[in-house]
Amino acid sequence: MATTPAHDSMANAIRFLAVDAVEKAKSGHAGLPMGTADIATVLFRDILKFDAADPRWPDRDRFVLSAGHGSMLLYALAYLTGLGGDKGLTIDDLKAFRQVGSKTPGHPEYGHTVGVETTTGPLGQGIATSVGMALAERMLAAHFPGIVDHRTYVLASDGDLMEGVSQEAIAIAGHYRLSKLIVFWDNNGISIDGKTTVLADNVDQVERFKSAGWNASAIDGHDVAAILNAIRAAQNSDRPTMIACKTIIGFGLPTKAGTSKAHSDAPGEAEIAGARKNLNWPYEPFVIPDDILAAWREVGRRGAPQRAAWRKALEALDPKERAEFERRVRGELPKDLDAVIDAYKQKLADEAPEVATRKAGQAALDVIAPAVPELVTGSADLTPSNNTKVAATREITPDDFTGRYIHWGVREHGMAAACNGIAVHGGFIPSGASFLVFTDYARPSLRLAALMKIRVVHVFTHDSIGLGEDGPTHQPIEQIASLRAMPNMYLWRPADSVETVECWQAALEKAHSPSILALSRQNLPALRRTHVVENLCARGAYEISPADGEPQVSIFASGSEVSLAVAAQKLLREKQVAARVISVPCMDAFFDQPEDYRRSVIGSAAVKVGVEAAVRFGWDAIIGDGPFIGMRGFGESGPYKAVFQFFGFTPEAVADAALKRLAA
Ligand SMILES: Cc1ncc(C[n+]2csc(CCOP(=O)(O)OP(=O)(O)O)c2C)c(N)n1
Ligand SMILES: [Mg+2]
């Protein structure tokens, strides 16, 4: 262990802000900030490229605290460096740690607190998200040479590395040789239940990372020179780097340091008094001596000349290129997109193609991708099935990041987390793809995208039993309902080509929400044969086929079942029953509509029927206790038409259900 008094006092400022905030809140995790304060001090004081005056400077280095439970580390650093100036954290914000409405919530929340680059807390997410940030940096640098050149630093805990998603992330970073990604592993050997090596983990992490194509080394995480040297070596590496830092959790606590008792909870007055003695920190809680605060504030100003030089480089760009860079960083869509989509919708209405919506999705991307250069698509090894690759999205390779198609390998979770990282990095709209049933494999990252209010537009195809022969393992049943249940996640299930491009457009326009496009494997007839300029799908639900006269029946359906509903409408007409059909491509968007619109779409027909090749859950909000033609259990392997027949998805069954209820 080698430190200096100046270093120690700066690191101790972090330690005591953290432990005093946890003690005051009687809740939180001081063990990690106390154990990693030396690493953080070296990184921020000597290495990290940032300027406290502009926390959102696009070319700043990113610092991700993957072990989000140590949030007080981030909050202490933000306060000490003066990050964000007047809009940053005050000492009162630190005193309000973990209180309702405070800027200092239990775990770091993106968009809520200055300096938080991504929401962390669910272990593994931070490190996986940071891989997307590092990828985005390489890609944006390839698209805008000369003005993008920064690193991504991550602090990951034992738990982060035990979570499975970390393996997907490490493999992706190794494959793409993301040499500007540098991970510190807080190797304290302690998790909640006790000593990691005794309880549940004996992985040789250095070898694990090396085998994935990383550079990895092990150091004493309290040795300033060792930390500095390791970072400098990492900066010169041609591979991503993991630095295993042996640390003592709760460093300084007299009885709890180095044990799982230091992980969380208020340590108690006696323990903290002991730490004050041990670390020679005689100051009252939340008091940072002027000279120490001044030293930290100086760190916050260190990057100002670098940022000024960067601004000059930006201003030296061709004005058009500069405007394009700034538009992309702001997250604004290109102005001509609407006109491009309108012309395409006109063409589709004329041609009325009968295709699967996954094919329609590819055709839509063929139009959208050239018009939206920030759109990055990809697939978790299902490119030929998801149909997400088009001419405009050439694939990236470890040697060439000018493309914008990403082969994620069979890694739905890693893909979804990295897409979040690409989105929070800025400059891109990421889009991953797989089968809809495998959203279950990506769910923790999908949830974080929704929580972070970021725009990620995933394409999940093979959206029902209509995928046929692959059978129940691949047939989504409850996924649609469960994704609808996720706040701020928009699940789009278009019925034909026009709806598919409308859903893509609506999803792109949702700058603060992630979306999932659920697309069919099987062919579907063209339903929208009259051109309408308005994006009808954006309203979530609309009458796609009106009744002849006063409607007695309203049939609500989504995706592949809308054409089924239209066929049922025809059968009812033959029986002199007037029925209307309402397409519901996005229940989430529909429930956002004003009440009068919702009422007019739901209507007042005596019978409301729902049809969707999935569970009923959620439909009651539209059809009340009306009959629902859906799934009650898992699917069946067979040709899709036979499977639909087997489960009763026929026009006759839908019409019968309506007639029965009408008679009742
Ligand atoms: C996915 C997930 N599972 C469980 C938890 C609850 N949890 C918080 S910290 C932690 C483990 C703590 O060990 P470590 O990651 O080594 O952190 P340290 O105790 O060293 O600070 C767990 C299980 C979580 N935050 N995320
Ligand atoms: Mg640990």
Ligand with minimal distance to 31 CA: 1
Nearest residue by C-alpha to atom 19 in ligand 1 = 191
C-alpha span between 75 and 20 (Å, rounded): 13
Return the pLDDT at 384: 98
Q: Are 156 and 127 spatial neighbours (Cβ–Cβ below 8 Å)?
A: yes
Task: Kindly provide the residue ranges of all beta strands, DSSP E only, lying in 51-199, ordered along the sequence.
Answer: 62-65, 152-157, 181-187, 190-191, 194-195
Return the pLDDT at 125: 99
DSSP H or E stretch at residue 375? strand 375-379
Q: Are 349 and 531 spatial neighbours (Cβ–Cβ below 8 Å)?
A: yes
Among the options 412, 502, 561, 612, which is catalytic? 412
> Which ligand 1 atom lies nearest to the CA of residue 262?
19
C-alpha span between 657 and 555 (Å, rounded): 11
Return the pLDDT at 2: 85
Other beta carbons less than 10 A from residue 330's beta carbon: 10
Q: How far away, in angstroms, is 126 Cα from ligand 1 center?
A: 12
Q: How far away, in angstroms, is 220 Cα from ligand 1 center?
A: 22
C-alpha span between 362 and 466 (Å, rounded): 19
Question: Which of 375, 365, 376, 386 lies closest to 459 in space, CA to CA?
Answer: 386
Residue 78: pLDDT band by 50, 70, 90 thresholds? very high
The amino acid present at 448, given as its one-letter code, is L
Percent of the residues in the chain that have a pLDDT greater than 70, as a whole number = 100
Residue 234: pLDDT band by 50, 70, 90 thresholds? very high
Read off the pLDDT of residues 85-101 as tens digits, 9 standing for 90 and up.
Answer: 999 999 999 999 999 99
Q: Which residues sit with their C-beta closer than 6 Å to ligand 1?
A: 31-32, 67, 69, 121-123, 157-159, 163, 186, 188, 190-192, 249, 263
Q: How far away, in angstroms, is 108 Cα from ligand 2 center?
A: 18
Read off the pLDDT of residues 574-615 as tens digits, 9 standing for 90 and up.
Answer: 999 999 999 999 999 999 999 999 999 999 999 999 999 999
**Helix (H/G/I), strand (E/B), else coil: 16:** helix
C-alpha span between 32 and 285 (Å, rounded): 18
Q: What is the mean pLDDT of residues 218-241?
A: 98
> Which ligand 1 atom lies nearest to the CA of residue 122?
26
DSSP H or E stretch at residue 459? strand 457-461
Q: Which residue out of 15, 34, 39, 69 has the highest number of ligand 1 atoms within 8 Å of its CB and is therefore the one to mutate?
A: 69
Ligand with minimal distance to 107 CA: 1
Please, what is the end-to-end C-alpha distance for the chain in angstroms? 82
Other beta carbons less than 10 A from residue 298's beta carbon: 12
Average pLDDT, the chain: 98
Read off the pLDDT of residues 611-657 as tens digits, 9 standing for 90 and up.
Answer: 999 999 999 999 999 999 999 999 999 999 999 999 999 999 999 99
Q: Are 221 and 187 spatial neighbours (Cβ–Cβ below 8 Å)?
A: yes
Nearest residue by C-alpha to atom 18 in ligand 1 = 191
C-alpha span between 476 and 491 (Å, rounded): 14
- To the nearest 10°, report the CA torsion of 228, 229, 232, 236: -160
Q: How far away, in angstroms, is 272 Cα from ligand 2 center?
A: 20
Whether 168 is catalytic: no
Q: Are 374 and 426 spatial neighbours (Cβ–Cβ below 8 Å)?
A: no
Full 3-state SS string of 308-359: HHHHHHHHCCCHHHHHHHHHHHHCCCCCCHHHHHHHHHHHHHHHCCCEEHHH
Cα separations (Å) of 571 from 337, 358, 431, 548, 656?
40, 29, 40, 13, 9
Q: How far away, in angstroms, is 570 Cα from ligand 2 center?
A: 64
The amino acid present at 586, given as its one-letter code, is C
pLDDT over 90 at 1, yes or no: no
Residue with tokens 């999940």: 460
Cα separations (Å) of 582 from 48, 530, 617, 638?
55, 16, 18, 29
pLDDT over 80 at 28, yes or no: yes
**Beta strand 515-519 pairing with 490-492:** parallel
Q: Are 35 and 186 spatial neighbours (Cβ–Cβ below 8 Å)?
A: yes
Return the pLDDT at 565: 98
**Helix (H/G/I), strand (E/B), else coil: 35:** helix
Residue 279: pLDDT band by 50, 70, 90 thresholds? very high
Q: What is the mean pLDDT of residues 401-420?
A: 98
Read off the pLDDT of residues 254-265 as tens digits, 9 standing for 90 and up.
Answer: 999 999 999 999
Q: What is the mean pLDDT of residues 531-539?
A: 98
Classify the C-alpha dihedral 437-422-218-43 as positive or negative.
Answer: negative
Residue with tokens 């993008």: 148
Return the pLDDT at 493: 99
Q: Are 651 and 564 spatial neighbours (Cβ–Cβ below 8 Å)?
A: yes
Q: What is the mean pLDDT of residues 482-504?
A: 98
Read off the pLDDT of residues 124-154 as tens digits, 9 standing for 90 and up.
Answer: 999 999 999 999 999 999 999 999 999 999 9
Q: What is the mean pLDDT of residues 531-556?
A: 98
Q: Are 383 and 393 spatial neighbours (Cβ–Cβ below 8 Å)?
A: no
Classify the C-alpha dihedral 254-255-258-261 as positive or negative.
Answer: negative
Read off the pLDDT of residues 31-42 as tens digits, 9 standing for 90 and up.
Answer: 999 999 999 999
**Beta strand 355-356 pairing with 523-524:** antiparallel
Q: Are 224 and 42 spatial neighbours (Cβ–Cβ below 8 Å)?
A: yes
The distance between the two most distant Cα atoms of the chain, rounded to a whole number of Å, is: 90
Q: Which residue out of 29, 74, 165, 192 has the highest number of ligand 1 atoms within 8 Å of its CB and is therefore the one to mutate?
A: 192
C-alpha span between 273 and 199 (Å, rounded): 31
